[in-house]
Amino acid sequence: ANYFSKFSKAPVICKLVGRKVLDGVGQPTLEVEIYCTVKNYEKRICSIVMASHSQTPENALPETTEADEKERNDSVHTAVEWVNESLTTMLRDLESTDQCQADKTLGEYFANKVEEKKEIQKREEEEAAKVTPAPASCPPTPVPKQKKGGKPVKKVLVEENPIPPAEPAEPVLCGSLAIGGTSLAIAKAGATISHVPLYLYIALLKHGQKPPKEMTLPLPMVTLLNCEKNLPTKLKLVKEVMLIPPVELSLKQGIERIQDIQKEMTRLLESSGKMPGPQADSKKGKSQSSGKKAPPPFLKRISHLGCLTTGYDNLEQLLLLMQKSCKNIGLELGTDVYLAINCAAHELMDYERGKYEILTGTFKSPEEMVPMYMEMINNFPFIIALIDPLRKEDREQWSSICCALGSKCYLIAEDAATHISKLKTDQNINIAVCSGVVLKYINETKVSDLIELTGILDGQRHITILGSPDGESLDESLVDLAVGLGARFLKLGGLSRGERVAKYNRLLAIEEELAANGTLREAKLEFIDFAGESQPEEQLPDVLPAPEQD
């Protein structure tokens, strides 16, 4: 029976099912199920759940948050319709292993939807223009002119601080989750039908069906602390503190080491009274504690990133506590474990002053940020990665910081990187110089997009980091994508919350499997020396449009 089954017709997609489900933080997201016709029977093959991603900052106004939630609900509702109606019809009878054709069909469908949206917007603008002859006479009224003329000081301030304005957020088409969800579900179905794990299936797609002799696991960036920027503490420069285990350890040993540090860090925070939660509440009777603890009743002991939430008044205070927690259990930062810091600089910019607010009331211009980071890395060499140390608009400073620190520290763009779809299709693409980019599998991103883009980044000596969005789900496919694509790092959050721990468990399972097969290769930490390169910023755009030429 097994012999003759090899000659049977290849399984083909017969039905897609989309449904609205909840992610790890209770937000609506999309689940896509794949059904195939296998030996003349309809059979459910697999399903995936997309992670939700919000561009709304932590300190957003309630109205902005409400609008974002409504937009998310509408997008999921539209995505479910697309999957159950149009995409099911278009992809029916397609072989589940034909990822290239599936992604091509999805790309064309999405491009048509984008054009439809543009036409609707154009018609709405034309109709609005017809009805607005009266408002056209409003601008000459003296009120706005008096405002502009009456405050010449503001004009002078703008001229004195000529920082590049913030680029508008990438528009997200309502329903785009359906494209990414369907692409990933088809890849997972193809792996299931081919009887290979998803990470190997992705690697085969990337390398033209040539099986890799060895595979390297991405190093985990495990979030230990989440320093929310709306806390009453002064330090604003640090959003996340992450631990990276050394390459000499197995992943299992590295995770265990980080767990030990987390336990000791928790103990130190509780003993110092900085830990939010019941421990902090019990101390409210003390005069010293009640004054400090009154403002943040919103604090959670574990944040949505699966790590401890706390705040500090300066960077040295934070890093010295990190050193102490490691020293207490016989470890040394920079040897036994490394540090990465997510600065999220785009959330620090005060546009009126044209400066970053690194501490409450302390501001630095983009030019002053570079020597500050140089001093930080020189004083604390165990920091081997900075994520978003600057906004993406500060290109000159990105170039300067890479030349100064690129040989001893990874300078990574997360928010500072352009959207995946734009990175791949825009002919005039030009992102700031950096060591690597955090890629997130969200919205209309397709599996073939990631394969193509990681190939380009590999060719440019840029490292790839696959990142977990804020609203994660229990789906573990992100880990298989990272392993199959050969990512250098994997940014999953902390070692708490089921949706995050599930991914670490999947990574441990893949390590066991590769070790048993004798195909596991040790990872390497190699920095990029930008100082020796001439005009590094000019080189990236020349290569990124290559997919269009191919």
The long-range contacts involving 202-208, CB below 8 angstroms and separated by at least 24 positions, are: 202/447, 202/451, 202/480, 202/481, 202/483, 202/484, 202/485, 203/483, 203/484, 203/485, 203/486, 205/99, 205/447, 205/448, 205/451, 205/484, 206/451, 206/454, 206/455, 206/484, 206/485, 206/486
For 161, the 3-state DSSP assignment is: coil
Structure tokens at 299: 């604090």
Residue 113 CB neighbours (<10 A):
20
Residues 6+ apart with CB under 8 A from 291: none
Conformation bin of residue 373: beta by default, left when phi > 0, alpha when psi is -120 to 50:
alpha
Question: 507 near 520, Cβ under 8 Å?
Answer: no
Q: How far apart are CA 27 and CA 365, in angstroms?
A: 37
Question: 188 near 97, Cβ under 8 Å?
Answer: no
Measured N-to-C along each axis, helices 315-328 and 251-272 cross at an angle, to the nearest 10 degrees, of 120
Q: How far apart are CA 429 and CA 190, in angstroms?
A: 32
Query: Which candidate in 314, 430, 443, 517 is catalytic?
Result: 443
Question: Could you give the C-alpha distances from 74 to 62, 113, 229, in angstroms and in order?
Answer: 18, 15, 29
Question: Could you give the C-alpha distances from 1 to 6, 8, 232, 318, in angstroms and in order?
Answer: 9, 11, 69, 64
DSSP-assigned states of every residue in 254-301: HHHHHHHHHHHHHHHHHHHT---SHHHHTTTTSHHHHHHHSS-TT--S
CA-based radius of gyration for the chain:
25
Question: Which is it for strands 362-364 and 355-359: parallel, antiparallel or unpaired?
Answer: antiparallel
Question: Could you give the C-alpha distances from 87 to 82, 193, 379, 528, 531, in angstroms and in order?
Answer: 6, 20, 55, 43, 49
DSSP-assigned states of every residue in 28-76: EEEEEEEEEEETTEEEEEEEEEPPB-----TT--HHHHHHHHHHHHHHH
Identify whether 430 is a catalytic site residue.
no
Question: 362 near 316, Cβ under 8 Å?
Answer: no
Q: How far apart are CA 45 and CA 65, in angstroms?
A: 37
Q: In what order do the strands lie in the sheet with 355-359?
A: 349-350, 355-359, 362-364
Q: How far apart are CA 433 and CA 535, in angstroms?
A: 10
Residue 342 CB neighbours (<10 A):
25
Helices and strands, number each (H, E), in the chain: 20, 17
- Residues classed as catalytic: 443
